[in-house]
Amino acid sequence: MSVLVGKKAPSFAARAVVNGEEIIENFTLDQYLKEKYVIFFFYPKDFTFVCPTELHAFQEKLEEFRAKGCEIVACSTDTEESHWGWLQMAKDHGGIQGITYPIVADTSKTISINYGVLWGDYGYDENEQLAATGPMIAYRGLFLIDKEGTVRHQLVNDLPLGRNVNEAMRMLDSLIHHETHGEVCPANWEEGKTAMNESHEDVADYLAKN
């Protein structure tokens, strides 16, 4: 599993479903460069159990993310047709109808590999036949990408462990605060709370007050 923090987010062009219904060719995160932050997250599979709870949770906060200049993009190794079909299924039946942000189809699994979140590996067996170990689906990876295309935060959960969307928002707020004010954000910092300058005096003062 690779650590991408501080590195450029791997570029790709792939099919995606946008606005809950339109399948487009060659979707890329490069369209947001210089303009938007991006939260790019992977989920394991369509038509599953934990995954729709996460997808709907991001949709509920979508306008709040966008108000802060951040776009949400999801991805799994399912096909675009599978994404589209799940998007037609009502929420009360386990579907993701109502999701409007892009959902990328990583059918080649190269996006998941490049982001270091693919569960499984390709190799050759004793008969020199290509084989896969593992289910070859994505872990619950999440990447916060800045406007320059650099990964500033990443989180990878195992399949049973759903993510906290409020924590993704907190990390975005932390990045925006640091870029705006030059301050660093201490443990459990939230928007509106006191941050710190990078000095021993400021750290000592902060710890004394908290």
Answer positive or negative: Cα dihedral of 173, 179, 183, 186.
positive
Answer positive or negative: Cα dihedral of 40, 44, 46, 51.
negative
Q: Is 185 a catalytic residue?
A: no
Q: What is the 3-state secondary structure (H, E, C) of 92-109?
A: HHCCCCCCCCCEEECCCC
The H or E element that residue 133 is part of is strand 130-138
Grouping H, G, I as helix, E, B as strand and the rest as coil, residue 129 is coil
CB–CB of 16/123 below 8 Å?
Answer: no
Residues facing residue 46 across a β-bridge: none
Catalytic residues: 51
